[in-house]
Amino acid sequence: MSLTNSQYDIILHDYENRQLNNRHELERKKAYVYEHIPGYRDLEDAVAAVSVSQGKKYLEGDENAMEDLRDLIAELSGKKAQLLLDAGLPENYLEPIYTCPDCKDTGYIDGQKCHCFKQAMITLLYEQSNIREMLQNENFQTLSYEYYDGDDLQHFKNAVTTCQNFIKNFNSDYHNLFFYGKVGTGKSFLSNCVAKELIESGHSVIYFSATSLFDMLSKYSFDYRNKEDQRERYTDLYQCDLLIIDDLGTELANQFVNSQLFSLLNERHMGKKATVISTNLSLEELRNRYSDRIFSRITSHYELCKLTGPDIRIYKKRLLNRK
């Protein structure tokens, strides 16, 4: 599982807030007990006093001092518990509070990430991916072959297999995917299937439509007043485990787009950071629209998956209208 330093900082800050809030809650409970249960604070002071007293005895050679201390503390603890019960409170009312008792809100157990830390990672990755809601409906669990037949079905099955292998080997093999074909043939759907599986396994995934991607890059390049606000997002484009660029070709075509796209694809390739691109363009249209360098980069370093068939979105609407 991999996160950027800034993502780790966000999660660790959440743990610090969790610990602080729980300490404040415990202090509030203590204040209530001290005010409303006479004698409780005296018992706590007695525990501290006997600990010091028995410690001195042990240092002076009394070998039974520690055993006596355990007995005394057990007796005082029993009295404290009884006071709480008599006041209608649970006997563990003043025990330390943990949101996750397993790791005691540290995020780690024996040097390994706790299940709560892993879940925090996944939650953060979903939030930063831009596609949390989309992935609820578009994933391998909702995948269906019923809208395809003939060669279209075979193309889709081949693409699904390619996606599954891409996910299976993601940590060991560097690959990129390029989905192309007509509108509504399942390109974005498969990109989202890949995104969900990788996020669930703790990988950082960032999704951009081509239009929003180049809009962000333009603001970063030319909006100097807000450059710092964009810097982290810009850095994530190059460092995230998987970048998804959806609907390439819908953005305005100009020299800026060509330059930025090549830089992004080239840098991610040099860093062996995976990218998934979907487009409605044919390969010929891709060559004519972008520079030779971009076309070469994609056709040389991406696994090309052509999807064919009718527009599934229109097909679904027709089925609904018949009902």
Give residue-wise pLDDT tens across range 131-145: 777 888 889 999 999
Q: Check residue 230 and give its pLDDT.
A: 62
Helix (H, G, I), strand (E, B) or coil at 188: helix
Coarse DSSP helix, strand, coil percentages of the chain, rounded to the nearest 5 percent: 65, 10, 25
Q: Residue 201: which pLDDT band, with cuts at 50, 70 and 90?
A: confident
Q: Is this model's pTM higher than 0.95 or not?
A: no
CB atoms within 10 A of CB 320: 8
* pLDDT at position 153 over 50: yes
Q: Residue 232: which pLDDT band, with cuts at 50, 70 and 90?
A: low
17-26, 55-64, 108-117, 137-146: which has the highest mean pLDDT? 17-26
* pLDDT at position 94 over 60: yes
The mean pLDDT of 73-86, rounded to a whole number, is 93
How far, in whole angstroms, is CA 190 from its chain's centroid? 20
Contacts of 272 (CB under 8 A, 6+ apart): 174
* pLDDT at position 229 over 60: no
Amino acid at 227: K
* pLDDT at position 98 over 80: yes
d(CA 133, CA 200) in angstroms, rounded, equals 14
Q: Check residue 27 and give its pLDDT.
A: 95
DSSP string, 55-123: HHHHHTT-TTHHHHHHHHHHHHHHHHHHHHHHTT--TTTTSPP-SSTTTTTSSEETTEE-HHHHHHHHH
* pLDDT at position 102 over 70: yes
**Cα angle: 271, vertex 276, 281; to 5 degrees:** 125
Asked whether the beta carbons of 294 and 268 are under 8 A apart, the reply is no
Local structure of residue 141 (DSSP, 8 states): G
The mean pLDDT of 283-288, rounded to a whole number, is 95
Q: Check residue 1 and give its pLDDT.
A: 45
**More confident of the two residues 288 and 8:** 288
Average pLDDT, the chain: 89
The mean pLDDT of 80-98, rounded to a whole number, is 94
Mean pLDDT lowest for which of 29-33, 181-185, 233-237, 261-265? 233-237
**More confident of the two residues 9 and 153:** 153
Q: Which residue has the tokens 């028995």?
A: 54
Name the residue among 142, 149, 143 with its Cα closest to residue 308: 149
Q: Check residue 320 and give its pLDDT.
A: 59
> For the purposes of burial, counting CB atoms within 10 Å of the CB of 79, is it exposed (0-12), middle (13-18) or buried (19 or more)?
middle
